[in-house]
């Protein structure tokens, strides 16, 4: 049993499972047993249930393994290698506080929809921001993208004021924002993204790599993994 099993180890295991690497080879790479590897599969299934439960739904499809869960949510774990995540990648190779990670995982699961991380209302992301701050990820790495067609200026101002208050409370810093001249009715008005740079276009605002880290964090934080870690 590897008692130093980190979130970085967990992400490596999940990537190997997605690529269908031989399970014995995975075990030898991170020094875990067959039973512990099976626990990671079950933890991934539990994360899928948590995501659906946050929407008031039961899991769709047959989810019997970590690989099935990753494919079901169309997660691209290879995007975790992007340079923008250098600080987080280094931090997650070190021991983490399970309670802080678990809170961030729950916040991510409740806010995440098909690659978008809702920040409406902004305070829902406090546990996630606390997790990032604990890993020395600067707030300037993040961007609050909000939709504004100028039809509801008071609501937009209230949202931005709340986001600023949340950023100040957690980071004692300013959260960069970007306005989009549109409103998609029935959707969240604001989203938190980790862009390649603040002025990045839509492609550069993909959260795919961030989602990979948060999925791995969610699996790692499950109590059944913590029991043997």
Quick: pLDDT tens for 165-176. 999 999 999 999
CA 223 to CA 215: how far, in whole Å? 15
| Domain annotation covers residue 222 | yes
| Domain annotation covers residue 156 | no
% of the chain with per-residue pLDDT over 90: 75
| Domain annotation covers residue 99 | no
Tell me what pLDDT residue 1 has: 41
| Domain annotation covers residue 30 | yes
- Determine how β-strand 143-147 pairs with β-strand 116-117: unpaired
Confidence at 138, pLDDT banded by 50, 70, 90: very high
DSSP string, 17-67: HHTT--HHHHHHHHT--HHHHHHHHHHHHHHHHHHHHTTT-PPPS---SHH
Instruction: Give me 46's structure tokens.
Output: 């539990």
Exposed / middle / buried, residue 218 (Cβ in 10 Å: 0-12, 13-18, 19+): buried
Give residue 46's domain range. 1-83+216-229
Q: How many structural domains compose the chain? A: 1
| Domain annotation covers residue 205 | no
Q: With beta carbons less than 8 A apart as the criterion, state whether 31 and 3 touch.
A: no
pTM value is 0.93
pLDDT per position as a tens digit, 80-133: 999 999 999 999 999 999 999 999 999 999 999 878 899 999 999 999 999 999
């Amino acid at each position: 049993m590897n008692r130093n099993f980190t979130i970085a180890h967990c992400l490596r295991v999940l990537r190997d499972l997605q690529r269908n690497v031989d399970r014995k080879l995975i075990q030898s790479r991170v020094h875990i047993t067959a039973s512990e590897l099976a626990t990671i599969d079950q933890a991934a299934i539990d994360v899928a249930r948590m995501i659906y439960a946050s929407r008031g739904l039961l899991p769709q499809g047959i989810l019997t393994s970590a690989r099935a869960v990753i494919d079901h949510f169309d997660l691209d774990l290879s995007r975790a290698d992007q340079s923008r995540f250098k600080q987080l990648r280094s931090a997650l190779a070190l021991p983490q506080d399970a309670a802080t990670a678990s809170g961030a995982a729950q916040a991510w699961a409740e806010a995440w929809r098909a690659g978008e991380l809702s920040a409406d209302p902004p305070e829902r992301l406090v546990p996630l921001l606390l997790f990032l701050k604990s890993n020395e990820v600067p707030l300037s790495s993040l961007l609050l993208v909000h939709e504004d067609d100028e039809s509801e200026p008071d609501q937009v101002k209230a949202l931005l004021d709340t986001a600023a208050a949340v950023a100040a409370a957690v980071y004692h810093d300013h959260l960069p924002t970007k306005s989009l001249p549109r409103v998609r009715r029935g959707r969240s008005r604001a989203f938190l993204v980790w862009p390649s740079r603040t002025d990045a276009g839509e492609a550069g605002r993909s959260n795919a790599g961030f989602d990979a880290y948060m999925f791995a964090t969610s699996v790692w934080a499950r109590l059944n993994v913590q029991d043997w870690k």
